[in-house]
Amino acid sequence: MTVLDLLGAAEEVHDRAPVVELRGVTRQFPGDPPVHALHPTDLTVRAGEYLSVVGPSGSGKSTLLHLLGLLDSPTDGEYLLDGRPTSGAGERERAALRATRIGFVFQAFHLLPHRTVLENVLLATVYSGVPRAERRERAVAALERVGLAHRLDFLPTVLSGGERQRTAVARAVVARPAVLLADEPTGNLDSASSESVLALFDELHAEGLTLLVITHDDEVSARAQRRVRIADGRLQEIA
Amino acid sequence: MTAVTDRVAPGDRYGVRDLLAEAAAGVGARPGRLLLTILGTVLGIASVVVTVGLAQTAAVQINQQFDAVAATQAVASAATSPGRDGQERALARLPWDAAERAERIAGVEAAALVSEVDLAGADVSAVPVHDPSAPRTSAPPVLAAGPHALEALQGRLQQGRWFDAGHDARGDRVAVLGADAARRLGVQRVDRQPSVFVGDRAYQVVGIVDDVARRTDLLGAVILPTGTARADLGLAAADELHLHVAIGSGPVVGEQLPLALDPNEPDTFTVGVPPTTSRVRDSVQADVSTIFLALGGVALLVGGVGIANVTLLSVLERVGEIGLRRALGATRRQIAAQFVVESVVIGLLGGLVGAALGVAVVVVVSAAQSWTPILELGMVGLAVLAGGGIGLLAGLYPALKAASVEPIAALRGGV
Ligand SMILES: Nc1ncnc2c1ncn2[C@@H]1O[C@H](COP(=O)(O)OP(=O)(O)O)[C@@H](O)[C@H]1O
Ligand SMILES: [Mg+2]
């Protein structure tokens, strides 16, 4: 988002710096026969883009997201994050990149049930090195941003699905990542809750956040500015 | 690429504060289970504290009851054999310097002769003139004793002092009264320099003794220095040599004392030395302590396994949380540290509760036995730390398990 401010709103998308860049990235799972979860893939997501990857179950969406999120490593090819290759990074470096450059939103929310909404968001600031004095302020601001200022001290267990997912979004953006990766963010939500989360994504996109949303749902995918279809581990841009 | 980590100020990185906060939250999340988890450690630590505490308490009681008197008192006298007239006849005489000879033996802390003095009808009173109209009461007996008798018999003075070697050597007319004798003679204060009369000789009272560990007949007697009794009252032979010896020195003293008294005829003396510091009782006690400590050790082991078990269970249950933390940027090391610290905190809690319980039991048992509870504070602190140590050991394997959780697999499930 800060990138946007620097470059100016008038600039064309394709001139902006790539945040995520896959060059022939492949993921095979060993087995008999080996599973080609992702065939050699090229993909570039530039700063401020809102990209959706849509495909049926088992098509390789989660595999792609895990690679982009540095939770998994490609068997072949190179993945550049912020223009820098990640293949040489060690475990600590990858953890640091996850903490500072990537925000995750999962289908199952993954909120700690015994921690309040605010504490769940604070958790992301702990590992990402947000200055200690700013942590609380930033977490509260992130929760205000997703419309949950009135739920700070609630336990996630008493929230609606939509509120839980918006808490997860606040946690994902509190450390100001370069890209937000969402895996089936509306998969566990009813249509009203889905709509609230998707509206939030629209707003974050409008504010300049780079989003990559993975879904099997065409309607969800249609909200994105740019769409990619995935089938049997192969990506195809939707015009 | 290292730039990513270097950008963050050290104080803002995930540090000890964050680690402790996360661990505390993890431990506090399930209070009910926490109680069950620490139960084994609590029992183990408590039983060790109780064992050591009661052993310490009992040791002090035994010292008070036996050691101070039985294990440190010895007595020597001339051997006797039945004579022709059927009376026991002494085979030898204790030398007048028997006390000095005895005190040269290692382990002998004080020695003194004690003898009964035959008054041959002489009266003992607090007034010089015999008043025939006064009701006749039985006179207190007169004893002769050495200058170190107070130490040798572990006595305590109520007032004044014991006579010294100078009094003894010069045959000074001084006396120490037993508390009962003083009462009978109407002597209350020695600072007024009262006298008692044996026959028609006046003896200045220098002290009143009101407690002795042996020869309690001293309390009812007029005690003169041995030298004085020899000079004035014709004391012919000393009866007994009393010794105060160091704990455990009984056998050595028993061997050397007869030789010191008469190198040529050591057999003419009988020496009663303390039984060899009751080795039997000590070893029985040691066995009991060992058994209890072993039981405590087993309980601690069970406690440790309990913590390890529950921590492992909690790792399995919290796989989703671990995956999430990894996704949020936690390293394997940070995950491992969190579970180790959680386990240490659980162990410390167990140690704390166990030590408190143990102290309570020691106090209650001691109160029931009317003993003085003795428990070193350092040992209680050590018990708490031991709980933490058990937690540390118990947490290592679960922590390794937690660190090896693959985030992708972990995130497939829920939190
Ligand atoms: N760890 C793995 N080992 C073997 N095969 C896997 C593994 N993870 C995923 N796959 C396979 O890779 C393919 C893509 O899976 P995934 O990316 O989870 O699909 P999606 O998220 O689109 O439903 C599937 O055929 C799946 O069975
Ligand atoms: Mg999937």
Tens of pLDDT, residue by residue, chain B (415 residues) = 444 555 667 777 788 888 998 888 888 888 888 888 888 889 889 988 888 888 778 777 665 555 556 678 888 888 888 777 777 777 888 999 999 999 998 889 999 999 999 887 778 888 765 556 655 567 889 999 999 999 999 899 999 999 999 999 999 999 999 999 999 888 888 888 899 998 889 999 999 999 888 888 999 999 999 999 999 998 988 999 999 988 777 778 888 888 888 888 888 888 887 655 454 455 556 666 677 778 778 878 888 888 898 889 889 999 999 999 999 999 999 999 999 999 999 999 999 999 999 999 999 988 888 888 878 888 889 999 999 999 999 999 999 999 999 999 998 865 5
Chain A: which residues have CB within 8 Å of chain B? 66, 69, 71-72, 84, 86, 88-89, 91-93, 95-101, 104, 106, 108-115, 119, 123-124, 126-132, 171
Same domain, B230 and B283: no
- Rounded CA-CA distance B207/B209 in Å is 7
Backbone dihedral angles phi then psi of residue A181, each to the nearest 5 degrees: -105, 125
Model pLDDT, residue A235 = 95
- CB of A29 shorter than 6 A to ligand 1: yes
The domain tally of chain B equals: 2
- CB of A128 shorter than 6 A to ligand 1: no
B397 located within any domain: yes
Same domain, B195 and B119: yes
Same domain, B138 and B47: no
The set of residues, in sequence order, having a beta carbon less than 8 Å from that of B198 and lying 6+ positions away, is B119, B122, B123, B124, B142, B222, B224, B232, B233
- Rounded CA-CA distance A76/B26 in Å is 39
> Left (φ > 0), alpha (ψ -120 to 50) or beta: where does B249 sit?
alpha
Q: What does the buried/exposed string (b/e) look like for B24-52 if buried means 16 or more CB atoms within 10 Å of the residue's CB?
A: ebbbebeeeebeebbbbbbbbbbbbbbbb
Same domain, B58 and B142: no
- Rounded CA-CA distance A11/B283 in Å is 92
Model pLDDT, residue B207 = 94
- Tell me the pLDDT of chain A averaged across its residues: 92
Contact of B20 with A142, CB cutoff 8 Å = no
Residue A95 has its nearest CB partner, among B29, B331, B411, at B331
pTM recorded for the entire structure: 0.68
Q: Which parts of chain A fold into alpha helices (H)?
A: 2-7, 61-68, 91-101, 117-128, 135-145, 161-173, 191-206, 218-222
Model pLDDT, residue A148 = 96
- The verdict on a CB contact (< 8 Å) between A127 and B328 is yes
Model pLDDT, residue B271 = 85
CA distances from A20 to A68, A238, B350 (A): 8, 19, 50
Domain that holds residue B243: 93-264
Q: Does B378 touch chain A (CB under 8 A)?
A: no
Cα nearest neighbour of B323 on chain A: A110
Q: Confidence band (pLDDT; 50, 70, 90) for A11? A: low
- The verdict on a CB contact (< 8 Å) between A98 and B329 is yes
Same domain, B140 and B256: yes
User: How remote is the CA of residue B412 from the centroid of ligand 2, in Å?
Assistant: 9
pLDDT in tens, A141-185: 999 999 999 999 999 999 999 999 999 999 999 999 999 999 999
Model pLDDT, residue B55 = 78
Q: Does B19 touch chain A (CB under 8 A)?
A: no
The CATH topology of domain A3-238 is Rossmann fold (3.40.50)
Q: Supply the residue whose CA is at minimum distance from atom 2 of ligand 1.
A: A29
Q: Which atom of ligand 1 is nearest to the CA of A184?
A: 21
Cα nearest neighbour of B324 on chain A: A110
B271 located within any domain: no
Rg (CA), chain A: 17
Domain spans, chain A? 3-238
Interface test with A, best of B6, B19, B342, B415 (most A CBs within 10 A): B415
B131 located within any domain: yes
Residue B380: what residue type? V
Model pLDDT, residue B16 = 87
User: How remote is the CA of residue A190 from the centroid of ligand 1, in Å?
Assistant: 26
Residue A137: what residue type? E
Model pLDDT, residue B2 = 46
- The verdict on a CB contact (< 8 Å) between A128 and B327 is no
B55 located within any domain: yes
Residue B9 C-alpha, separation from nearest chain A C-alpha, in angstroms:
8
**What whole-number percentage of chain A has pLDDT above 90?**
90
B130 located within any domain: yes
Model pLDDT, residue B135 = 57
Model pLDDT, residue B6 = 55
Same domain, B58 and B148: no
Domain boundary among B232, B264, B296: B264
Which of A35, A36, A53 should be mutated for ligand 1, with most atoms under 8 A from CB?
A35
What is the three-state SS of chain B?
CCHHHHCCCHHHCCCHHHHHHHHHHHHHCCHHHHHHHHHHHHHHHHHHHHHHHHHHHHHHHHHHHHHCCHHHEEEEEECEEECCCCCEEECCCECCCHHHHHHCCCCEEEEEEEEEECCCCCCEECCCCCCCCCCCCCCCCEEEECCCHHHHCCCEEEEECCCCHHHHHHCCCEEEEEHHHHHHHCCCCCCCCCEEEECCEEEEEEEEEEECCCCHHHHHCEEEEHHHHHHHHCCCCECEEEEEECCCCHHHHHHHHHHHHCCCCHHHEEEECCCCCCHHHHHHHHHHHHHHHHHHHHHHHHHHHHHHHHHHHHHHHCHHHHHHHHHCCCCHHHHHHHHHHHHHHHHHHHHHHHHHHHHHHHHHHHHHCCCCCCCCHHHHHHHHHHHHHHHHHHHHHHHHHHHCCCHHHHHHCCC
pLDDT in tens, A192-229: 999 999 999 999 999 999 999 999 999 999 999 999 99
Could you tell me which residues are beta bridge partners of residue B184?
none
Same domain, B33 and B98: no
B80 located within any domain: no
- The verdict on a CB contact (< 8 Å) between B12 and A132 is yes
Q: What does the buried/exposed string (b/e) look like for B227-238 if buried means 16 or more CB atoms within 10 Å of the residue's CB?
A: bbbbebbebeeb
Residues at Cβ < 5 Å from ligand 2 ion: A 62
> Left (φ > 0), alpha (ψ -120 to 50) or beta: where does A118 sit?
alpha
- CB of A62 shorter than 6 A to ligand 1: yes
Same domain, B119 and B220: yes
Model pLDDT, residue A147 = 95
Q: ipTM of the predicted structure?
A: 0.93
Q: What does the buried/exposed string (b/e) look like for A138-165 if buried means 16 or more CB atoms within 10 Å of the residue's CB?
A: bbbebbebbbbeebeeebbeebebbbbb
H or E element in which residue A44 lies? strand A35-46
Q: Supply the residue whose CA is at minimum distance from atom 3 of ligand 1.
A: A29
Contact of B364 with A161, CB cutoff 8 Å = no
User: How remote is the CA of residue A113 from the centroid of ligand 1, in Å?
Assistant: 28
Q: Supply the residue whose CA is at minimum distance from atom 21 of ligand 1.
A: A62
Interface test with B, best of A127, A164, A165 (most B CBs within 10 A): A127
Residue B352 C-alpha, separation from nearest chain A C-alpha, in angstroms:
25
Same domain, B256 and B309: no
Model pLDDT, residue B288 = 62
Model pLDDT, residue B136 = 57
Q: How many contacts (CB atoms, under 8 Å) link A and B?
A: 97
B20 located within any domain: yes
